[in-house]
């Protein structure tokens, strides 16, 4: 099943486009990497896919609907979100519970179902045993897992992570990729991750979208495995 489909998408922030006539299909139920050097428009591509940016031209569809209509439930963990300082005044479980606030009723009480959901999300990222720790006491990798647990409380169909392993050591990065692989396999959900570390992450991914610069031709986009994409007008 195609989850996201971009056709002839053009987008820029100023006068020049940073994405120029990109067409791309993404399959549901996969662990997908987006890679490329700094400034290759990886984050921009993510935001277009999510409907957070509107293309100048072309179309972006999610689950067969225009992305800007916002019908798909997406968990988005932006870049550097896990950089809480050591004095961050919250415990792990409080932060993850705050992901449910939008769903609380008039009296803002947690139901047993919500408590169970929070526990499930913390277990999914293997952080349940840390639930009473202060956020500031955690390592970078642990903070990232907590941010993901918080996003999972929305039970998203798609989890989108922008450079989630920044600041993690090699063992934590591998542990993180395994965890996400298991999440995709066990729940049939889609995870899209911007990463610089393809040599490490590649073994865990189903598909890779590589944004690369070609001499004279500007940016180009290569997609390996089951995704397909190209720059340039549709045939």
Residue ranges binding ligand ATP (CB under 6 A): 13, 18, 36, 38-44
The CB-of-82 to ligand ATP minimum distance in angstroms stands at 15
Cβ proximity to ligand ATP: between 13 and 56 the closer is 13
State which residue, 23 or 44, has the beta carbon closest to ligand ATP: 44
Measured from the CB atom, is 37 or 232 closer to ligand ATP? 37
Nearer to ligand ATP, 20 or 61 (CB): 20
Q: How far is the CB of 189 from ligand ATP (least distance, A)?
A: 23
Q: How far is the CB of 159 from ligand ATP (least distance, A)?
A: 18
Of 78 and 156, CB closest to ligand ATP: 78
Q: How far is the CB of 216 from ligand ATP (least distance, A)?
A: 18
Task: Give the three-class secondary structure for 24.
Answer: strand
Local structure of residue 48 (DSSP, 8 states)? H
> What is the nearest approach in angstroms of ligand ATP to the Cβ of residue 13?
3
Instruction: Supply the DSSP string of 106-159, one letter for each residue.
Output: TT-PPPHHHHHHHHHHHHHTT-GGGTTSBGGGS-HHHHHHHHHHHHHTT--SEE
Distance CA 223, CA 206 (A): 11
* Helix, strand, coil percent values for the chain (each to nearest 5): 35, 30, 35
Report yes or no: 129 and 145 within 8 Å, Cβ to Cβ: no
Q: Residues 147, 148, 154, CA angle at the centre, nearest 5°? A: 105
40 vs 138, which CB is nearer to ligand ATP? 40
CB of 137 to ligand ATP, least distance (A): 28
15 torsion bin: left (phi>0), alpha (psi -120 to 50), beta (else): alpha
Give 66's strand partners: 61
Q: What is the SS3 assignment for 93?
A: helix
């Amino acid at each position: 099943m195609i989850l996201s489909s971009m056709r002839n998408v053009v987008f820029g922030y100023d006068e020049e486009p940073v994405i120029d006539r990109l067409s791309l299909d993404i399959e549901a139920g996969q662990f997908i990497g987006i890679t490329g050097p700094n400034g290759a428009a990886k984050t921009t591509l993510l935001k277009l896919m999510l409907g957070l940016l509107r293309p100048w031209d072309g179309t972006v569809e999610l689950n067969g609907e225009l992305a800007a209509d916002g019908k798909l439930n997406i968990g988005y963990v932006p870049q550097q979100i896990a950089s809480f300082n050591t004095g961050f005044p919250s415990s792990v479980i409080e932060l993850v519970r705050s992901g449910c606030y939008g769903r609380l009723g008039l009296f803002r009480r947690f139901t047993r179902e919500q408590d169970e959901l929070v526990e499930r999300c913390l277990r999914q990222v293997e952080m349940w045993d840390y639930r009473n720790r202060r956020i500031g006491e955690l390592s970078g990798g642990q903070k990232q897992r907590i941010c993901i647990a918080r996003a999972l409380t929305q039970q998203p169909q798609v989890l989108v992570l922008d450079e989630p392993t920044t600041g993690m050591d090699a063992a934590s990065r591998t542990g993180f990729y395994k965890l996400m692989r298991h999440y995709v396999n066990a729940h049939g959900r889609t995870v899209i991750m911007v990463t610089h570390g393809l040599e490490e992450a590649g073994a865990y991914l189903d598909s890779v979208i590589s944004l690369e610069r070609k001499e004279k031709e500007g940016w180009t986009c290569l997609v390996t495995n089951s995704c397909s994409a190209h720059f340039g007008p549709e045939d």
